[in-house]
Amino acid sequence: MTYLSEIPLNPLRRQTQSLLANPQKLHAAVMGGLPYESDRGRRLWRLDQREHRVDLLVLSPVRPSWDHLVEQAGWPGAEGGGARMASYDPLMALLMVGRQFSFRLRANPVQNVRRPEYPTARESLRMNDPDRTRSLRVGQRTVSHQLDWFLARCSGDDDRWGFTVGARDDPSVALVHRQTLRFSKGKGLPDVVIGTATFEGRLTVTDVDVMRRSLLGGIGSAKAYGCGLLTLAPA
* Domain residue extents for the chain: 3-87, 100-234
Return the pLDDT at 63.
Answer: 92
Return the pLDDT at 223.
Answer: 94
Return the pLDDT at 53.
Answer: 86
Reference 155, options 197, 195, 202; nearest CA is 202
Return the pLDDT at 52.
Answer: 79
DSSP state of 219: S
Q: What is the pTM of this model?
A: 0.87
The answer to whether 102 and 231 are in contact (CB under 8 A) is no
CATH topology of 3-87 equal to that of 100-234? Answer: yes
Return the pLDDT at 189.
Answer: 76
Rounded distance, CA 6 to CA 101, Å? 20
> Which sign, positive or negative, has the C-alpha torsion 68, 225, 219, 152?
positive
Rounded distance, CA 10 to CA 141, Å? 30
Q: Which CATH class is domain 100-234?
A: alpha beta
At 195, give phi and psi (nearest 5°): -95, 125
Rounded distance, CA 96 to CA 205, Å? 7
Return the pLDDT at 112.
Answer: 61
Burial of 175 (0-12, 13-18, 19+ CB in 10 A): middle
Cβ neighbours around 223 below 10 Å, total: 20
Return the pLDDT at 127.
Answer: 55
Rounded distance, CA 202 to CA 171, Å? 9
User: Tens of pLDDT along the chain (235 residues)?
Assistant: 899 999 999 999 999 999 999 999 999 999 999 887 655 668 999 999 887 789 999 999 999 999 999 999 999 999 989 999 999 999 999 999 999 999 999 999 987 655 555 555 555 555 555 555 555 566 677 888 999 999 999 988 778 999 999 988 899 999 999 998 888 877 777 788 889 999 999 999 999 999 999 999 999 999 999 999 999 999 8
What is the fold, at CATH topology level, of the domain defined by 3-87? Alpha-Beta Plaits (3.30.70)
